[in-house]
Amino acid sequence: MKKEKLFLIDGNSYCYRAFYAIKELRNSKGKPTNAVYGFILMLKKLLEKEKPAYLAVAFDLKGPTFRHKQFEDYKAHRKPMPDDLVSQMGLIKETISGYNIPIFEKQGFEADDILATIAKKISQQGIDVYIVTGDKDMLQIVDKNIKVYSAHKDDLIYDNEMVRERFSGLGPENITDFIALAGDSTDNIPGVRGIGEKTAIELIKEFGSLDNIYKNLDKIKSEPRRKMLSEQEDSARISKELAMVDLNVPIEIDIADMRVKDPDSEKLLVIFKELEFKNFARDIASCNSDVHKEARYKTITGLGDFKNFILELKGKSEFVLDTETTSEQPMEAKLVGISFCWKEGEAYYVALRSRPDAQGIDMETAIKELKPILEDENIKKIGQNIKYDKLVLLNYGIEVKGIAYDTMIASYLLNPSRMSHGLDDIAFEYLDHKMTSIDELLGAGKKRVTMDMVDIEKVSMYSCGDSDVTLRLKNVFEKEIFKKELETLFENIELPLVDVLSDMEKNGIKIDIDFLKEASSEMEIELSQLIKDIYQIAGEEFNINSPKQLSRILFEKLGLPIVKKTKTGASTDVEVLEKLSPLHPLPKELLRYRELSKLKSTYVDALPELINKKTGRLHTSFNQAVTATGRLSSSNPNLQNIPIKTEEGRKIRKAFIGEKGNFIMSADYSQIELRILAHLSKDPELIAAFEKDRDVHNHTASLIFGVDEKEVTPEMRANAKTVNFGIIYGISAFGLSKSLGIDPGSAQQFIDSYFERYPAVRVYMEDKIEEARSVGYVTTLFNRRRYIPEIKTGGMREQQQAERVAINTPVQGSAADLIKIAMINIHRVMKKKNLKSLMTLQVHDELVFEVPMDELDKMKKLVKEEMEGAVKLLVPIKVSVKYGKNWLEMEE
């Protein structure tokens, strides 16, 4: 019969390991959560892997133990526990209690003593005991029933044999003698200075024990060794006492209390939600929340039911819609069905005949009946990421109008810093409802199927649940949006933008495949030559893409200095290679190789593969609910990250072209963030510079260098430009010194000089930091909020970063809002005038259009007017409009 197992965890050891394993993790309130998260991960892994019958955790308590009385310097060298870990200890203990695992603590004793006491007692009851710790002094109690489960070495288990292997033949009974001689730096146990591990093992093997060593000092041949031992006998004796664990800690031990039980799900759910551990929370949550308790969901597959449903739908003033399709990419997706909901707890799923053998309503019939309702502007449409549904339906000739609510966007405005605004996550947070995940419905990995292959009733329940939950969330969010005065931003900017972005995604952009093929061939030739050059400089062939092999070449073979280290060894990242470039030719060649290979793989070779086979164009996705500042991002592919600082990066823009006879037109805001800074700070000098249409970087250079504008050199202007934009991001003297390649003292002089000339900018920055500290957030010109809890709760580094965020967000966020307003206005006028031109891309402060030749003058005028007139600032807004045959080669 297999023996049951008890696992005893050294709580402090586990906490430290968790804290340092996960460097930085906080919830949206700024509370550090990394140690709690790591502790739970390790605990869950232990429970799943080892399946113990019994489990307990022991902790040290603050205050001296009996060892401190024996040796004043015991553990004296240890740094105090980091504040961010201290703040999590209570939460870790609450979590352990939530798992119904007993915690043992005793004043005056260490966790080691408690664990040893429990282990010795329970092992006598025929139970195998495993002590989970990183402390080697626990190896002294290893026997046939007690093992040490190393917390630091991939769950290595120390039994008698493993201890002897680790200590070259010494057994558990020798461990305290070994520490008495070699000491233990972890606990500041001195041992005998001059005696290392190897010598300690030799002495114990020769004489058997510490006592025998001292009885036979005269037999030790080495005089220095004999002298060390003789002079430090007291230290050796004290060290042995310090290393010995107490097996008689006065605590009550009952094995029944340690039996592994089901966790207290309700208690853990409260903790996990507070800490925003959504995956842990979902693991323990029940699917049976109030949402589905009395839900009435109906599947419509027959024509009679469908006609009755259409009659009812026509009479509704608003409803939720949710499409079910075969792909997450709307341009590739085939429609499988649509669910509708206008009352909480009731929803309808219209199954569509997506395949000849499928049940459901004929696609043509369904589209004919649904089109007039979905295109009726007077009937309000609600959705979760409704842009996706709109795009899918556009592929079927339906242009959804009357979009009145998007719960994803509402969630984003309420908490822009949260990682996900997906329906599963926000339903769980706001409704305590665990949704059926898409993986549960479709399967995962090789077993995954498309939606049209899933049983109709399952799809119906899933889709109706989505629509029902979306309506419930809308009813919750409406009150919150109103309470936080976000309705204008929501209704006038974010919702109208859905129509704009869906059209842009539908439009796509044309790519010159032949140009990219040619560029790929040229890059391949250069990369091949670079590889040869790198091998020649290095003096051998190696895997250039292997950090380990590259590290050996740079730091061992070439002897270059190690700039910084990672967990796996010396870093070879871009920053390191840039610092090493002046010292040796190899780093420079490596930088060129990396730059070229990344451009080739990410853009030159990848873009042609992403072209839609039906449209022959590239269709990116614009993400409205991702960045904390309000900026849009793009994905599949990300067209906002095409590098423009290098010649090859800029060259990629040449591949973006128009259809035959069309031009690419680009409209770019000029220094928009500096203009917004002038408006927000009301600095007279900065305002005057823009009002007089001065070169603001030249003007700043003349002020901080104390020269006439005519005397400003290109280098002065470049430095002033770095200062101007650095100030917006709250740059420090250290940061500026790195950017300009000067010492921090000179950089600080630049910053001081800047604020002397633009004093209102400093006042603005100080006000924003104070505002963030006071209310916990900052706002843009259009009341977009960004919460910055770290400004009050973080450590020094986090607070400094939070201050930079407080300074920058109102500027960058207002610029993001401004271009969104311009996009909405331009889109509206283009529709009204039935222009053939297409808005295709948005890259931060730039809009890109595809324009027929006969609309070029009209579009230049329209875009410039709408972008410059989107918002009235205290300074003029300027826009530069260029056009050309591609996105690179353009003229005004």
Low-confidence stretches of the chain (pLDDT beneath 70)? 1, 63-78, 151-155, 286-293, 567
Evaluate if pTM is beyond 0.85.
no
Instruction: Give the DSSP per-residue string, 741-800.
Output: TS-HHHHHHHHHHHHHHSHHHHHHHHHHHHHHHHHSEEE-TT--EEE-THHHHS-HHHHH
Q: Which single residue is written with the structure tokens 């290109």?
A: 714
Fold of the CATH domain 5-167+246-258: Rossmann fold (3.40.50)
Q: Are 33 and 24 in contact (CB under 8 A)?
A: no
pLDDT digits (tens, 9 = 90+) for 379-422: 999 999 999 999 999 999 999 999 999 999 999 999 998 889 99
pLDDT for residue 76:
45
Structure tokens of 364? 């043509």
Sequence letter at residue 626: V
R_g of the chain, CA atoms, integer Å:
34
Strands (E), 354-495: 380-383, 403-406
The CATH code of the domain at 286-484 is 3.30.420.10
The architecture in CATH of the region 673-812 reads Orthogonal Bundle (1.10)
The domain ranges of the chain are 5-167+246-258, 286-484, 513-616, 673-812
DSSP secondary structure letter of residue 158: E
Asked if 15 contacts 35 with a C-beta cutoff of 8 angstroms, the reply is: yes
Q: What does the alpha-carbon distance between residue 157 and residue 154 come to, in Å, rounded to a whole number?
A: 9
Helix 175-182 crosses helix 197-207 at what angle (to 10 degrees)? 130
CA 77 from centroid of its chain's CA atoms: 36
Strands 380-383 and 565-566: unpaired
pLDDT at 237: 85
Helix (H, G, I), strand (E, B) or coil at 597: helix
User: According to the model, what pLDDT value does residue 66 have?
Assistant: 52
Alpha helix positions (H), 604-670 = 606-609, 647-652
Please give the Cα distance from 228 to 217 (Å, whole number).
11
- The predicted structure's pLDDT at residue 217: 86
**Is 60 within 8 Å of 85 (Cβ atoms)?**
no
Residue 623 φ then ψ, to 5°: -100, 120
Residues 6 or more apart whose Cβ sits within 8 Å of residue 73: 188, 190
The pLDDT, as a whole number, for residue 810 is 96
What's the pLDDT score for residue 703? 84
Residue 68: per-residue pLDDT: 43
Q: What is the pLDDT of residue 89?
A: 93
Class of the domain covering 513-616: mainly alpha
